[in-house]
Amino acid sequence: MLQDFDLDFSRFEDVPPPAARINVFRLTLSLENRLSQNKSFHHALQGTAAFHLQISPDGRFLRLDPKGPYNLTFTQAGVRTHHPLGAMLRRKGLEPPLSYLMYWQEALDCWVGQYDGLAAPSPVPKPQNRKRRKAASHI
């Protein structure tokens, strides 16, 4: 049952509608270093398969430049196993699986991806190998 509240609805904020999945472009790197485009991103690329791939110093941003020089070529299905990329990201402290939201940057004439936080959970520390001390017996 609602209580009688004196609410000022003029201070409430509108919640935007969720983005349609068709408009979400994503590039994902799996544990096995398999780089894959989601269906929407694959469709938006319209058959473009070769890119100049760069990553930011912290690994949180990607740049895909379709003008080259090419160091990444996707298959027709929009996937590519890329061990060097996986190794670089791991050295930067990012553990796959990783996901990047991709945006076309008109001013830069390239795709820019932003890491969106979908990473593997932090590893659980292994317990230290401690030997149990036997309690002294009291006689």
**39-76 residue pLDDT tens:** 999 999 999 999 999 999 999 999 999 998 999 999 99
Q: How far is 139 from 124, CA to CA, in rounded Å?
A: 42
Q: Is the peptide bond before 121 cis (omega within 30 degrees of 0)?
A: no
Residue with tokens 């027709």: 76
Q: What is the pLDDT of residues 61-114, one digit of tens each?
A: 999 999 989 999 999 999 999 999 999 999 999 999 999 999 999 999 999 999
Three-state secondary structure call for residue 39: helix
pLDDT at residue 24 is higher than 80: yes
Q: What are the residue ranges spanned by the domains of the chain?
A: 21-115
pLDDT at res. 129: 58
Amino acid at 84: P
Judged by DSSP in three states, 41 sits in helix
16 pLDDT more than 70: yes
Residue 105 pairs in a beta bridge with: 110
